[in-house]
Each structure stands twice: as structure tokens, then as C-alpha cells.
Amino acid sequence: MKIALPNDRGRVNQHFGRSEEFVIFEMSGQEIKGRETISTITLQHNHEGLAELFKSKGVEVLILGGVGPRAIQALQQYGLRVITGASGDVEEVARAYARGELVSQGIICNHGHGHGSHCHHGPGCS
């Protein structure tokens, strides 16, 4: 199974739409079998473009920090499972997911059109 996380210097980026890169882990049971880092700087806030990219890479699950309802909807329309509210080291979070220890927190960021409002439902976005 392949899972993707927004990467910010080895930690889960807390703002999905502003993530400049994602790390894709290929998991075998609870172990990391492979790792690929992909640049998404040209796709920031392009939810459909990101969803297409993840599908083309064989990603099944996205583990995110903060994310809004439109992004979740776009990702789910492409058949991607979305886990929200994650934080910490990307490798540790990936392993925690493989162990069944992560529970999605739902919509974490409820941004307005300008993406300038604050988060209302959980950990803060940066």
C-alpha cells in the first residue's frame, strides 16, 4: 500500500494546500518498503491536480494535518482515503497508520475563499 504525507523538513506539514512536497511511502505491513519525495509546488491549492498526481503514483491513502472540506471532497472523488489531524515525524506517522493507531479528525481547516481565516476544528495550520 502507498500512503502520502505533506512533508515539511521531515514533519507533517499542517497546511495541505500550501505543501511544497509530499513523501510517498510504500508500506509492507507495518514496515516502510520504499520512499519517494515529490514536489507539489506548482500544484498548491489545486486539489484536483494533486488528487490526479497521487492516483498516478498509486497512492491509496493521504495522511494530512490541516485540510479543508473542498480538498477532502476532491481527494475522495478520486477514490483516495483521507486521514486528517496528523502531526509529527512523517515516518513515525506512516508507521502509526500501518499499526492502525491513527483516527481521522474530520475537517481541520475551514478556510474562506482567500485562505486567510484561522483553523476552527483542531490543530492549527501554518
Decide if 126 is inside a domain: no
Decide if 34 is inside a domain: yes
Q: Could you tell me the CATH number of the domain that includes residue 8?
A: 3.30.420.130
Model confidence, pTM: 0.84
Q: Which domain range does residue 89 map to?
A: 2-98
pLDDT in the model for residue 125? 35
pLDDT in the model for residue 103? 85
Decide if 107 is inside a domain: no
Decide if 123 is inside a domain: no
Mean pLDDT by 10 residues, the chain (126 residues): 98 94 97 97 94 98 94 96 96 96 75 41 36
Judge whether 60 and 41 are in contact, CB under 8 Å.
no
Instruction: Give the model confidence (pLDDT) of 76-108 as tens digits.
Output: 999 999 999 999 999 999 999 999 999 888 766
pLDDT in the model for residue 105? 82
φ, ψ of residue 39 to 5 degrees: the values are -80, 135
- Total structural domains within the chain: 1
Q: Which residues of 51-84 are buried (b: 16+ CB within 10 A; e: fewer)?
A: bebbeeeebebbbbbbbbeebbebbeeeebebbb
Decide if 108 is inside a domain: no
Separation between Cα atoms, residue 1 and residue 123, nearest integer Å: 27
